[in-house]
Amino acid sequence: MRKAALLSLLLLLAPAAAFARPPVVVELFTAQGCGSCGEANAHVAKLAERPGVLPLTFSVDYWDYLGLEDTFARPEFSERQKAYVTKLKLREPYTPQVVVDGRAQAAGRQSGRVDQLVREAARAPSNAPDIRFMSPRRVDVGSGRVPRGGAEVWLVRYDPREQGVTVKSGDNRGDTIVHRNVVRELVRLGAWRGRPTAYRIPAAEEPGLAVVVLVQGAKGGRILGVGQPKD
């Protein structure tokens, strides 16, 4: 066996504790037509500057029926939020909502509460599986403990730039809403059963996006591991 292949296998089989703690994932569910979302968007944009924090902005589409079409919304983003609503035993989805590491949630406009959840998540014990990008079309997830109910591997592609969008209708009409780390693609790569597994990465729908892979408890569970390609 070649040395490089042997090293890759050893990394996948190594105890997860040997690796650094993954970043705290902060998911913002927002909509351009939501009158109280601008402040939450701005706060999440600031979180992107903090080391050890990975904000992801998901624009939902369920306000579109009012004619408030969001330029970044996709139905799969709304479905992701609904999975959290069920898992966290909430009554219904709302905007702006922030979910931290799949463990806890807060109203996005409550920036102090959001910051508190981020600090708590950063201090929480971590037993993350190793995640390695072997090529632009393959990612390997190592061994680890699987939560009750199973786990899944998700591919997220997002635009890391700060973008200002001028809203054409609704409560924010005429206002420019700041967006950062806007998610453009969300793809389930498959189930993870705690054993080293390779996953195929589909071709990108658009160029120039940043990539992250999340290992997560099934159906909106807590985030177990976070992997990004090395520069």
What average pLDDT score do residues 204-221 get?
Answer: 96
What average pLDDT score do residues 100-127 get?
Answer: 96
Q: So what's the pLDDT on residue 111?
A: 96
Q: So what's the pLDDT on residue 64?
A: 72
What average pLDDT score do residues 41-68 get?
Answer: 89
Q: How far is the C-alpha of 179 from the C-alpha of 78, rounded, in Å?
A: 17
Q: So what's the pLDDT on residue 65?
A: 67
CA-closest candidate to residue 26, choices 6, 49, 53: 53
Q: How far is the C-alpha of 163 from the C-alpha of 88, rounded, in Å?
A: 30
Provide the terminal-to-terminal Cα distance of the chain, rounded to the nearest Å: 27
Predicted confidence band of residue 3 (pLDDT cuts 50, 70, 90):
very low
Q: How far is the C-alpha of 59 from the C-alpha of 210, rounded, in Å?
A: 17
Q: So what's the pLDDT on residue 66?
A: 65
Q: So what's the pLDDT on residue 178?
A: 85
Contacts of 6 (CB under 8 A, 6+ apart): none
Q: So what's the pLDDT on residue 166?
A: 82
Exposure string for 121-148, b = 16+ CB within 10 A, e = fewer: bbeeebebbbbbbeeeeebbbbbbebee
What residues are paired with 183 via a beta bridge? 158
Q: So what's the pLDDT on residue 171?
A: 72
Q: Is the pLDDT at 14 greater than 60, yes or no?
A: no
Q: pTM to 2 decimals? A: 0.89
Q: How far is the C-alpha of 209 from the C-alpha of 224, rounded, in Å?
A: 23
Q: Fill in the amino acid letter for 37.
A: C
Give the residue numbers spanning the domain of 218: 3-227
What average pLDDT score do residues 138-156 get?
Answer: 97
* CA–CA distances in Å: residue 27 to residues 53, 67, 113, 139, 207: 11, 25, 14, 22, 22
CA-closest candidate to residue 108, choices 177, 162, 157, 159: 177
**Could you report the per-residue pLDDT of 168-194, keeping only the tens digit for each?**
766 777 778 889 999 999 999 999 999
What average pLDDT score do residues 55-67 get?
Answer: 85
Q: Is the pLDDT at 37 greater than 70, yes or no?
A: yes
CATH code where residue 39 lies: 3.40.30.10
Q: Residues 154, 219: contact at Cβ < 8 Å?
A: no
What the block records as the tokens of 67 is 């004619």
Query: Residue 16 is inside which H or E element, if any?
Result: none
Q: So what's the pLDDT on residue 12?
A: 46
State how many domains the chain has.
Answer: 1
